[in-house]
Amino acid sequence: MTEAPGTAGRDGEAHARYAPGTPCWVSLMVHGLEAAEDFYRALFGWEFEPGPPQLGPYARALLDGREVAGIGQLPVDRHLPIAWTPYLASADVDHTAEAVRLCGGTVGVGPLDAAEAGRLAIGSDPSGAVFGVWQAAAHLVTTVTDVPGAPVWNELLTFEAAPVAKFYETLFGYEQEPAASGDLDHITLRLDGRPVAGIHGVGPALPRDRGPHWMTYFQVSDTDEALERLAGLGGHVLTPAADSAHGRVATVSDPEGARFALLQAAG
């Protein structure tokens, strides 16, 4: 975890458009859509409305009427890992999907249209971490940040940071900022000098049951209180709350096993 991206003002309003490469949306595919809605509604105060029909059973999560995330239902015959997936903005998702393939990644879904909202693809980097690409049309993706219940940061956990950082740099032109400490294998990805995501190489500490994966951080007003609520809702605490330079953070999972982090911002 490094510094937050700072793409929005403190009133929670985000920019209407995102520069290519900026994380702009997070989405979760589950087996039990209604149960997932109940869990996240109670945890974050989200409300839900139907999403594009092309995505199957899918709901957009709202905070005070503004979109923050999406949750969809997996087909009964699909046994995929349950995980939050960040989407990176693109000016041309077809071009980006082809670049993913040329750079050693794979594209598993799309590119395809999501009604009038935009165009998307889902792929994986050379290490196997899954991410999405979103070309916005009418739907301008995440429209609220920097408030409790909204995504505030995305971090890739992988074996070694440098090789996969090169992949994302080639795709989106990120500037790389290695950690100041030589003991920490961490690279901050920046666009126009602004931090937008992180890559953390953890070597053998990477969970064997997950492999390389992206982790989404959701802001909360009180991490310890949120952990109590999460446990009561059937979630699990994977890493207890601890103070860091960026605030009080804990790693958790929902009842279906999707991992994410809770962050109470410092100050």
Least confident of 9-13, 164-168, 198-202, 213-217: 9-13
CA separation for the pair 70, 75 (Å, rounded): 16
How far, in Å, CA of 122 to CA of 99, rounded? 13
Summary mean pLDDT of the chain: 89
Residue 141 binned pLDDT confidence (cut-offs 50, 70, 90)? low
Please report the pLDDT score of residue 12 as a whole number: 42
pLDDT band (50, 70, 90) for residue 1: low
Instruction: Report which of 168, 161, 169, 91 is spatially closest to residue 123, judged by C-alpha positions.
Output: 168
Q: Is the pLDDT score of 13 beyond 80?
A: no
The whole-angstrom separation of Cα 15 and Cα 191 is 15
What is the C-alpha separation between 150 and 148, in angstroms, rounded? 6
Cα-based angle 140, 100, 6 (whole degrees, multiple of 5)? 40
Residue 64 has pLDDT above 80, yes or no: yes
Taking only the tens place, the pLDDT of each residue in 46-62 is 999 988 776 678 999 99
pLDDT category at 11 given cuts 50, 70, 90 is very low
Pairwise CA distance, residues 265 & 108, whole Å: 35
pTM of the model: 0.91
Is residue 71 within 8 A of residue 27, CB to CB? The reply is: yes
What count of residues does the chain have?
267
pLDDT at residue 227 is higher than 90: yes
